[in-house]
Amino acid sequence: MVAGGQPGQQAGLGRAQVHIGHPDLGESQLSRPVLQLLPQPRQRRLVQRRACPGHRQCRCPFTVNLRSALNHPAILASRTLHWPDEAACAAWATALATKPALADALIELHGPLGAGKTTFVRHLLRALGVTGRIKSPTYTVMEPYALPGGGEVAHFDFYRFTDPREWLDAGFRDVFARPGLKIAEWPDKAADLLPTPDLQLHIAPGDDDQRLLSVHAFTPRGVELLD
């Protein structure tokens, strides 16, 4: 199970392409001091934008430890998980697919290239009954899926999302306004546009196929998904 070095090529939970110290990883769970994050230009600017705290559309890509300081929705529940291999990833995705609260949830996936974000999504979609090819939306930004029993899933990959006008032009605002499961990889790229997530998964690669996850619920729906 070897994952490639670019988004859209994550075929499995491989080891060759990942480093625990990857700069894109550090939103939450690893023991990095919060003060080390403040000098970064993006984060300094967001600290200054204190007129927006609490607004549902304000989604700052800080470590989750800074959410309370900026008056963002508090973390209601958290859990740390260990996936020793891809089979464990598939098993957790299958269990999550049985939760009724998943139908209209927003799940954010954080982690470096090759962490296994797309692999997790594929296992989740399979567990929900999606058949046929499951494509990575790296270049299309969004891939929609219709579920066999009714309902929709919108899988987003914001890695190459650079123009906020695309949010309206491509109809993404309408997608988030209607029912259905939304899954977002690289959500920081669209941080100011996304609503508050129900569930956030921070995936940290370990040795071989192992993954360490910090899972955070920001809404009552997210808490249901963690139970």
> What is the number of domains present in the chain?
1
Residue 197 within any structural domain of the chain: yes
Residue 176 within any structural domain of the chain: yes
CB within 8 A of 48, min separation 6: which ones?
A: none
Q: What end-to-end distance do the CA atoms of the chain give, in Å?
A: 30
DSSP symbol at 24:
T
- Quick check: 139 and 8 in contact, CB under 8 A? yes
Q: What is the pLDDT of residue 147?
A: 96
> For residue 206, how far is the Cα from the chain centroid?
18
Domain extent, residue 120, equals 74-226
* Residue 7 pLDDT level (bands cut at 50, 70, 90): low
Of 61 and 215, the one with more pLDDT: 215
Residue 47 within any structural domain of the chain: no
CATH for 143: 3.40.50.300
Q: What is the pLDDT of residue 72?
A: 62
Of 147 and 45, the one with more pLDDT: 147
Residue 202 has pLDDT above 80, yes or no: yes
Residue 156 within any structural domain of the chain: yes
CA distance 127 to 94: 5
Residue 170 within any structural domain of the chain: yes
* Residue 192 pLDDT level (bands cut at 50, 70, 90): confident
CA distance 133 to 154: 15
Residue 142 within any structural domain of the chain: yes
Quick one: average pLDDT of 205-224?
95
